[in-house]
Amino acid sequence: MTEFKLYKVIIIVLMILLNLIQKTYADDTEKFALPKAIANADLSNENALDNILNSESFKQELALFAASLTLKDVEEQNMFNKVALLSLRNDGAAIEKLIDSQSNTKEFAHYQFFHQTKDALGSKAKSKTALINEASRLIQKRFSGFDDEEFVQMSLALGWSLSNAKSYAHNIYKQLKDRATLSKEEMIVVAVNTHLFHVLEIIIPISAETINAEQERRFIVQPDVLVKLDGGIELSTTIVRSRGQAAPNTTALQFTIYADEAAHIKTAMHAAAHGFIGMVANSRGKRSSKNKIVPWEHEGKDAAQLIDWITEQVWSDGKVVMYGGSYNGFTQWATAKHMPKGLKAIAPYAAANIITGLPYENNIALTDNFEWPLFVTNNKTLDNTIYRDWQRTQGIVDELYTSGRPITDIDKIANTPSPWLQKWLAHPEDDEYYQSMVPHEEEYGRINIPVLSITGYFEGGQISALHYFHEHYKYNEAADHSLLIGPYNHWSAQNKPRSHHSNYELDPVALEKDTEEVVFEWFNYVLHGKKRPKLVQAKVNYQVMGANEWRYADSIETLNQHNQTFYIQSTKPNSQQNYVLGTTASKDSDEYIEQTIDLADRTEQRNSAPWPVIQSSINKQSGIQIETPVFEQDMELTGAITGFFDISINKKDVDLGFNYYEVTADGEVFHLNTYRSRASYADDISKRRLLTPNQKRRVPIVNARFTSKLIRAGSKIVLVLNVNKNVAAQVNLGTGKTVNHEHISDAGEPLALKWYLSSRINLPLKAWQK
Q: How far is CA 270 from CA 2, 149, 307, 343, 561, in A?
A: 12, 7, 20, 20, 41
**How does DSSP classify residue 155?**
H
Supply the pLDDT for residue 17.
42
pLDDT tens digits, one per residue of 528-545: 999 999 999 999 999 999
Of 40-54, 113-127, 134-148, 714-728, minimum mean pLDDT range: 113-127
The amino acid at residue 167 is S
How high is the mean pLDDT of the chain? 93
Angle value at C-alpha 605, between 601 and 610, nearest 5 degrees: 175
Q: Residue 12 — pLDDT band, cuts 50, 70, 90?
A: very low
Domains of the chain by residue range: 4-214, 229-353+437-555, 360-425, 564-767
Amino acid at 260: D
pLDDT for 752: 98
Please, are residues 561 and 715 in contact by the beta-carbon 8 Å criterion? no
User: Does the pLDDT value for residue 101 go beyond 90?
Assistant: no
Between CA 502 and CA 614 the distance in angstroms is: 8
**pLDDT tens digits along 72-82:** 999 989 889 99
Give strand pairing partners of 365. Answer: 360
pLDDT in tens, 464-482: 999 999 999 999 999 999 9
* Long-range contacts, stretch 243-247, CB < 8 angstroms, 24+ apart: 243/217, 243/218, 243/219, 245/272, 245/275, 245/277, 247/317
What is the residue type of 68?
Answer: S
Within a 13 Å sphere around the CA of 104, how many CA atoms are in the beta-carbon half? Answer: 23
Residues 406-431 have pLDDT tens digits of 999 999 999 999 999 999 999 999 99
Q: 182 and 249 in contact (C-beta within 8 Å)?
A: no
pLDDT (tens digit per residue) in 332-356: 999 999 999 999 999 999 999 999 9
* 160-196 pLDDT per residue, tens: 989 889 988 998 998 898 899 999 999 999 999 999 9
2: pLDDT strictly greater than 60: no
Q: Which residues contact 434 (CB under 8 A, 6 or more apart)?
A: 353, 354, 355, 427
Burial 690-703 (b: 16+ CB within 10 A, else e): ebeeeebbebebbb
Residue 102: its pLDDT value, please? 76
Dump strand ranges (E) for 191-335: 219-228, 234-242, 249-256, 277-282, 316-325
d(CA 208, CA 212): 6
- The share of the chain scoring above pLDDT 90, in percent, equals 82
At residue 191, the 3 state secondary structure works out as helix
What is the rounded average pLDDT of the residues 698-722?
A: 98
Does 20 have pLDDT greater than 80? no
What pLDDT shows up at residue 28? 57
- What whole-number distance in Å separates Cα of residue 62 and Cα of residue 82? 14
* pLDDT tops 90 at residue 573: no
Task: Name residues whose C-beta falls within 8 Å of residue 28's C-beta, 6 or more positions apart in sequence.
Answer: 183, 184, 185
CA 541 to chain centre: 19
Distance from C-alpha of 341 to C-alpha of 318, rounded to nearest angstrom: 9
pLDDT over threshold 90, residue 435: yes
pLDDT number for residue 125? 61
For residue 484, the SS3 value is: strand
Local confidence band at 104 (pLDDT 50, 70, 90 cut-offs): low
Burial 469-485 (b: 16+ CB within 10 A, else e): bebbbebbeebebbbbb
| Each residue's pLDDT tens digit, 193-213 | 999 999 999 999 989 999 999
Sequence-ordered list of residues with C-beta below 8 angstroms from that of 246, at least 6 positions apart, any chain: none
- pLDDT tier, 663 (very low <50, low <70, confident <90, very high otherwise): very high
pLDDT of residue 78: 87
How far, in Å, CA of 374 to CA of 498, rounded? 30
Q: Is the pLDDT assigned to residue 103 strictly greater than 80?
A: no
Fold of 564-767: Jelly Rolls (2.60.120)
Element (H, E) at 751: strand 751-756
Q: E strand or H helix at 448, and its extent?
A: none
Look up the CATH number of domain 229-353+437-555. 3.40.50.1820
